[in-house]
């Protein structure tokens, strides 16, 4: 059984590697007016210690699944872009248990009207949430772990509609400014943390509507055929005042070690006054198996 499984996995990796040598596995399925950058990846690390006395160590494992898709279709009158980013990962540590390390659902669709080569009006929409429950961990008087739900699917959920103007000087850089309406939704079942609630009122609100201004700046640069850097800066200003600013700056450096393996370094900074008055930081270094579709 083990030999058969090994043979199947080996054959799959060899066939995938052959496909990657000529680009993505499904490149030939793309319409002529469409470009795509689609990569699925699985990262896994494991450390196991048993009666290990030479040096300190704690058994642990981490797994992470990611799916990043960016499709652009071009016509004479307009361009249509769709972005989908999915991520889900967990870390288990001996003595601590399982903790979620990554959880993301992000979908964005935008239509750019080709009024000119570099300056284009656009409309779009975005959806953001997560897959599974997030917890706050504490202990009772006896030292037993207490898990309190602080988030789950659609708690919060963000739906944004935008209309504005973008500047596209080249294929590597773009910046957009738009009037946007950002809706925050808190589904039933997360009464412990209502992201949409207005604390100034006695009523508990499960829906919040915020009109404002939105800015998106994106940059991508290929240092070589195997090294790519991507950066995305997003900011939203509520019309209530300039102290009502949400923002996220995402950076990713990817190095293709082989057709199937990739080394990634990412660094994200986020700020949301409703979640925390201080900025949040996330740094990840990963090596994993990648499956390039396009």
Q: Which residues pair with 128 in a beta bridge?
A: 106, 158
Closest-CA residue to 235 (of 138, 160, 169): 160
Q: What are phi and psi of 198, to 5 degrees?
A: -95, 110
Question: What is the rounded distance in angstroms from the CA atom of residue 89 to the CA atom of residue 103?
Answer: 7
* Residue 211, SS3 per DSSP: strand
CA distance 280 to 283: 10
Within 10 angstroms of residue 132's Cβ, the number of other Cβ atoms is 12
Q: From CA 93, how far away is CA 48, in angstroms rounded?
A: 10
CA-CA distances (angstroms) from residue 212 to 86, 177, 235, 238, 246? Answer: 26, 11, 10, 4, 11
Residue 15: per-residue pLDDT? 41
Question: How does pLDDT run along the chain (294 residues), one tens digit per residue?
Answer: 444 444 434 444 434 443 343 456 677 788 899 999 898 988 888 888 877 766 677 888 899 999 999 999 999 999 999 999 999 999 999 888 899 999 999 999 999 999 898 999 999 999 999 999 998 888 888 888 888 888 899 989 999 999 999 999 998 999 999 999 999 988 875 555 567 777 777 777 788 899 999 999 999 999 998 899 999 999 999 887 656 789 999 999 999 888 788 888 999 999 987 677 788 998 888 788 888 786
User: CA-based diameter of the chain, in Å?
Assistant: 69
| Cβ-Cβ contacts under 8 Å for 255 (sequence gap 6 or more) | 226, 227, 262, 263, 264
Predicted local confidence at residue 218, as pLDDT? 97
126: left (phi over 0), alpha (psi -120 to 50) or beta: beta
Write down the pTM of the prediction.
0.85
Topology of domain 31-292 in CATH is: Outer membrane phospholipase (ompla); Chain C (2.40.230)
Q: What is the pLDDT of residue 106?
A: 98
- Hey, how many other C-beta atoms are within 10 angstroms of the C-beta on 93? 14
Tokens of 203: 């009523």
- Give the pLDDT score at 129: 96
From the number of C-beta atoms within 10 Å of its C-beta (0-12, 13-18, 19+), residue 220 rates as middle
Give the CA angle between residues 101, 266, 218 to the nearest 5°. Answer: 120
């Amino acid at each position: 059984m083990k030999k058969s499984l090994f043979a199947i996995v080996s054959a799959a990796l060899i066939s995938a590697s052959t496909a990657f040598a000529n680009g993505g596995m499904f490149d030939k399925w793309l319409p002529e007016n469409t470009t795509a950058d689609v990569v699925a990846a699985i990262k896994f690390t494991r450390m196991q210690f048993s009666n290990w006395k030479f040096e300190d160590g704690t058994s642990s494992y981490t797994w992470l699944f990611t799916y990043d898709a960016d499709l652009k279709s071009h016509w004479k009158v307009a361009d249509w872009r769709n972005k989908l980013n999915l991520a889900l990962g967990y870390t288990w540590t001996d003595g601590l248990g399982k903790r979620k390390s990554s959880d993301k659902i992000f979908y964005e669709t935008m239509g750019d009207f080709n009024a000119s080569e570099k300056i284009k009006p656009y409309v779009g929409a975005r959806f953001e949430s997560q897959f599974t429950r997030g917890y706050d961990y504490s202990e009772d008087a006896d030292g037993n772990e207490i898990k309190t739900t602080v988030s789950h699917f659609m708690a919060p959920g963000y739906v944004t509609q935008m209309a504005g103007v973008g500047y596209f000087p080249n294929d590597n850089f773009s910046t957009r400014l738009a009037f946007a309406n950002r809706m925050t939704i808190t589904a039933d079942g997360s009464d412990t943390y209502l992201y949409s609630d207005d604390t100034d009122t006695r009523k508990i609100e499960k829906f919040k509507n915020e009109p404002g201004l939105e800015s998106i700046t994106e940059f991508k640069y290929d240092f070589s055929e195997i090294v790519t850097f991507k950066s995305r800066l997003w900011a939203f200003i509520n019309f209530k005042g300039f102290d009502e600013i949400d923002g996220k700056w995402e950076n990713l450096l990817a190095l293709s070690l082989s057709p199937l393996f990739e080394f990634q370094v990412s660094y994200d900074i986020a700020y949301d006054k409703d979640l925390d008055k201080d900025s949040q930081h996330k740094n990840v270094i990963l090596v994993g198996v990648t499956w390039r579709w396009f």
